[in-house]
Every structure is written in structure tokens, then in C-alpha cells.
Amino acid sequence: SRSELVTALRALDRVLRARLDWIPTYYLANHRVAYWDMFGFLEQKPDFGFPVETLWWIDKGKAAKIGKA
């Protein structure tokens, strides 16, 4: 009957959700990364002091180009 079918399907649904099965659909050997090219660095690095390579900020010119895209 219809009610028995619904009861059986709900039980099956509970079992399948409880198992947490994972089925991969494809495999990529590489990682895809998307980024915005809107960050700037100092043109001339100081001779002494804090490592400037770790500092970055938003370049207004590059950010404007992204805003137009």
C-alpha cells in the first residue's frame, strides 16, 4: 500500500543518511585557486627593519580595474 511504501522509504532514507557515504564523481590532480590582483607591495624595500614581504595593501588602481569588470 501507499503508506507502507512511504514508511519503507523513510526508513531507507534514515539508514542512508546515517551512513554518511561519500561518492567522488571526479578527481583532479591539481588545485584551482581564484584570486583578485588588487594588492600592492613597496617598490623599494628598506635595507633594515621589518620583513616587508609580509605586508600588503590594496592598490587603488588595481582595485578600480576589478570594480569595472
Beta bridge pairs of residue 47: none
pLDDT of residue 6: 95
pLDDT of residue 22: 75
- pTM for the model stands at 0.38
How far, in Å, are 18, 22, 35, 51, 53 from residue 39 at the CA level? 45, 38, 10, 17, 12
Compute the C-alpha angle 60/65/66, nearest 5°.
Answer: 95
For cell 628598506, the residue is 46
- pLDDT tens, residue order, the chain (69 aa): 999 999 999 999 888 888 777 777 777 888 888 777 888 877 766 677 666 666 777 888 888 888 776
Any idea where the domains of the chain sit in the sequence? 2-68
